[in-house]
Chains A and B, each alone.
Chain A
């Protein structure tokens, strides 16, 4: 099959960008979307032009590196699928596709379709961890965890941090990401001691990174390749409200970390 691509080309962060038109010829329906771009890039390199830059790593849908807006849908038309796991059989011969980077103030374009998502890292650094003394590992199942809680925590932990939620959100909000990260620890016994402090700090960091607020449009849940539910946003709001209402000023007593 043959497709026409309109790809956002931008040589560097802060530089002006524009759409360029490329023809993708003899595309096999069995190719992944990124393999199709690889083939287009081979052609560009052979013609002495700069290849289209896009992020990727595992190409098996688990690392969260890949992602782009494909004709107006984050990660393209297939539900619960990363761009690397999207296959060309999802498109038809003659399709015209518009490829754009995730767009948000917090995600600056590094080059072409590559964006800087370190804002997500800083949200995690603000509280997306449990403080435990390291040492020899505990016995498995030493801490009993209910099936329901374990499953819910796993659902939240499925977040791979790809940024599709922010990209798809009309407000450019990182609520689904932050909610998933707050919830997957907050649901487990190990996450309880820091549960409310975590909610306060991660939300504060999310706001500092200039993400928008949440209107509950639901677009993030639809775009999420891991199918993370907006119910986690309600849970984050509950934890945040509780945390804000009950937080005492923390005083450093003894060792601070």
Chain B
């Protein structure tokens, strides 16, 4: 166990925790995105999917939730600690320091991460718990008496600020993953050496797929394709 404590205390260990929890996040976000795209099949399919998760798969869902909550907490805690450490490492700042090659994505990891955290909390209170219910339809049921999450999605995304915030958060998620999907493999030391270490085709594909997959849902509602 001592080695775990040592690892936790080192900057590399903290970054490794971020990478592992971040990769858990990417795996989740991918599955979630694919699940969400079922709104395009229709209300019956989508509500049935939700009923499946909450019925037969309920135990599995709780395991997944526990892992995800632990991952987010660890990820954010490590981000906080490393950010404070980075600030302390340069007590007197430059008058002028020009970014040469760092991407916008890498430079927005911290503030974008804060936005993602706010979004995650909002999102859970909105679609999972129903404590925030902008459309006032959270407790509605569909024709088969199931929780009508489809109706909630459609009604919610018709509210401009709900879809606006969602679209903004997904843009930042795309940016976060454009850096994170690339950097996590280097943090873990599993990426192969390359002649162009800053190039990132796989991370770009991951970022675009996740961003697009999530973004299509509110766009589908706004365009009237999902109704």
Residues of A bordering B, CB below 8 Å: 19, 69, 71-73, 98, 100, 103-106, 152, 168, 170-173, 203-204, 206-207, 210-219, 221-223, 229-231, 233-241, 244-245, 247
Q: Measured between C-beta atoms, what is the minimum distance from A238 to chain B in Å?
A: 3
Tell me whether A100 and B95 are in contact (CB under 8 A): yes
Tell me whether B100 and A73 are in contact (CB under 8 A): yes
Tell me whether B101 and A237 are in contact (CB under 8 A): no
Tell me whether B94 and A103 are in contact (CB under 8 A): yes
Chain B, Cβ-Cβ closest to A211: B89
Tell me whether B109 and A215 are in contact (CB under 8 A): yes
Within residues 190 to 212 of chain B, which ones have a CB less than 8 A from any CB in chain A? Answer: 190-191, 193-194, 197-198
What CA separation (Å) do A229 and B198 show in the bound complex? 10
Total of A-B residue pairs, C-beta within 8 Å: 158
On chain B, which size bracket covers the interface? 35 or more
Residues of B within 8 A of A19 (CB): 95
Tell me whether B101 and A98 are in contact (CB under 8 A): no
What CA separation (Å) do A229 and B192 show in the bound complex? 12
Q: Measured between C-beta atoms, what is the minimum distance from A105 to chain B in Å?
A: 5
User: Given that A105-B90, A214-B15, A237-B16 are known contacts, is A168 also in contact with B96, CB under 8 Å in the complex?
Assistant: no
Chain A, Cβ-Cβ closest to B3: A244
A-B contact pairs, 8 of them (CB 8 A): A105-B88, A171-B86, A206-B11, A213-B85, A215-B109, A215-B183, A216-B182, A219-B101
Chain A, Cβ-Cβ closest to B5: A244
11 further contact pairs, Cβ within 8 A, besides A213-B85, A237-B189, A239-B189: A72-B94, A100-B96, A170-B86, A170-B102, A207-B10, A213-B86, A216-B106, A237-B15, A241-B189, A245-B3, A245-B7
Q: Measured between C-beta atoms, what is the minimum distance from B198 to chain A in Å?
A: 5
User: Given that A72-B96, A218-B102 are known contacts, is A104 also in contact with B89, CB under 8 Å in the complex?
Assistant: yes
